Amino acid sequence: MLRSRVIPCLLVQDGGLVKTVKFKNSKYVGDPINAVRIFNEKEADELIVLDIDASVNNAEPDYKMIENIAKECRMPLCYGGGIKTLAHVEKIVALGVEKVALSSVVIDQPSIIVEIANKVGRQSVVVVLDVKKKTLSGDYNVWTLNGSHNTKKNAADVIQQVQNLGVGEIVLNFIDFDGAEAGYPIKGIQRLKSGIKVPLTIMGGAKSLEDMGGAIKQCGLVGVAAGSLFVFKGKYRAVLINYPERKQKKEFIYGK
């Protein structure tokens, strides 16, 4: 049986590893390569690395950094940040990255998904949507550029659009829950998941392994991703890269 993936998500800024709260107040938490090595040892299910500056600065992906991470990474790797063209994707895939994450480019130019999927296969095309609930409505809007720009597009519509164009996975990142470690927004996930036919990964709010297990129980087969949970320990948020062992995952997440 396919089991839900438990995924650390690493944010990169200026070549260093950072963690944010509600997409702001980025705190330096260490060296990305070192973190990758630790997740290798812990046998993490998968790893997401997002360069949160690239698109904001209108910069191309940092290929040297991606190469260094891909070389070290012994788990499946998804990279996102600054990807704007098929040429960027081909370069990144050639460096040994299994999945590429597109974000702002799919809002500006959705048809790029078709072009990319035809070349690298749809299973390698991920769309990361940063979403925020509208006030006085259960609907979510898609935001871009590190949560600074409201596209005013309805997340449910964007999901349908990217699915029809042939995306292989959708990652929903709940901006207001980022770094809060107060639990996943289950209602919002259920609402958006109902229209999703491709693998879905959720991010934003994970506070514990049990919380991840709860999200899987209530939302079905989903990838559960987290930043803070896997880089901080304790209420003072001391930096400690961590990931559950096989046995802990079974006990606390899958419930056996």
Is residue 124 a contact point for another protein (CB under 8 A)?
yes
Binding range to another protein, per CB under 8 A, among 119-127, 173-181, 206-214, 224-232: 119-127
d(C-alpha 160, C-alpha 142), whole Å: 13
Judged by CB under 8 A, the residue of 120, 158, 175, 203 near another protein is 120
Q: Can you tell me which residue has the tokens 């964007």?
A: 158
Pick the closer one to another protein by CB: 123 or 161. 123
d(C-alpha 66, C-alpha 228), whole Å: 22
Active site residue 51: no
d(C-alpha 122, C-alpha 98), whole Å: 11
Residue 204: how many other CB atoms lie within 10 Å: 28
Per-residue CA distances from 256 to 4, 63, 213, 249 (Å): 14, 41, 11, 9
Binding range to another protein, per CB under 8 A, among 27-35, 80-88, 94-102, 103-111: 94-102
On the CB side of 98, CA atoms within 13 Å amount to 12
Is residue 73 a contact point for another protein (CB under 8 A)?
yes
Cα distance between the two ends of the chain: 14
Pick the closer one to another protein by CB: 24 or 119. 119
Of the candidates 130, 176, 178, 211, the residue annotated as catalytic is 130
Binding range to another protein, per CB under 8 A, among 54-62, 95-103, 132-140, 173-181: 95-103
Is residue 195 a contact point for another protein (CB under 8 A)?
no
Binding range to another protein, per CB under 8 A, among 10-18, 42-50, 79-87, 101-109: 42-50
Is residue 199 a contact point for another protein (CB under 8 A)?
yes
Does the CA dihedral 174-146-51-108 come out positive or negative?
A: positive
Judged by CB under 8 A, the residue of 97, 113, 224, 241 near another protein is 97
* Letter string b/e over residues 55-87, b meaning 16 or more CB atoms within 10 A of that residue's CB: bbeeeebbeebbbbbbebbebebbbbbbbbeee
Could you give the angle at the alpha carbon of 76 between the alpha carbons of 156 and 196, nearest 5°?
Answer: 15
Judged by CB under 8 A, the residue of 66, 93, 162, 203 near another protein is 93
Judged by CB under 8 A, the residue of 24, 64, 71, 217 near another protein is 71
State the minimum distance, in angstroms, from the CB of residue 122 to another protein.
Answer: 6
Is residue 256 a contact point for another protein (CB under 8 A)?
no
CA 46 to chain centre: 11
Is residue 30 a contact point for another protein (CB under 8 A)?
no
d(C-alpha 129, C-alpha 152), whole Å: 13
Q: Which amino acids are annotated catalytic?
A: 130
Rule CB under 8 A: which residues touch another protein?
1-5, 43, 45-46, 70-71, 73-76, 93-94, 96-99, 117-124, 168-169, 196-200, 220-221, 223, 246
